[in-house]
Amino acid sequence: MRIFILFFGLIVTVFANDPVTFFKESRHNKLLCHLGQYSFMMVSQKNSTITNIDGHIYFNVKNENLYFLSNTCQIVKYSKNKI
């Protein structure tokens, strides 16, 4: 049981840090962050920075006083493939 919990914790940690690594790769990579019940905001390196507060990773929007927890953001990938 302990091994299962440790393995599950490792998997969760890998997936929880995925938006942060995607964010750091390029200035053109964008994240879609959950702002409110029906509101979302696009975050990129141009308009935000990564902030570490009490061991948690946040995306801080530069022009506003907004902090998005890293697990509230999803990767936005554009593809030009036809359906």
Sign of the CA dihedral with 9 first, then 48, 33, and 64 last:
positive
The DSSP letter of residue 43 is: E
In DSSP terms, which residues pair with 42 in a beta bridge? 32
Supply the pLDDT for residue 76: 83
- Residue-by-residue pLDDT tens, the chain, 83 positions: 888 788 777 676 666 557 888 888 888 888 888 888 898 888 988 899 989 999 888 999 988 888 988 888 888 877 666 65
* CA 41 to the chain's CA centroid: 12
Say whether pTM exceeds 0.95: no
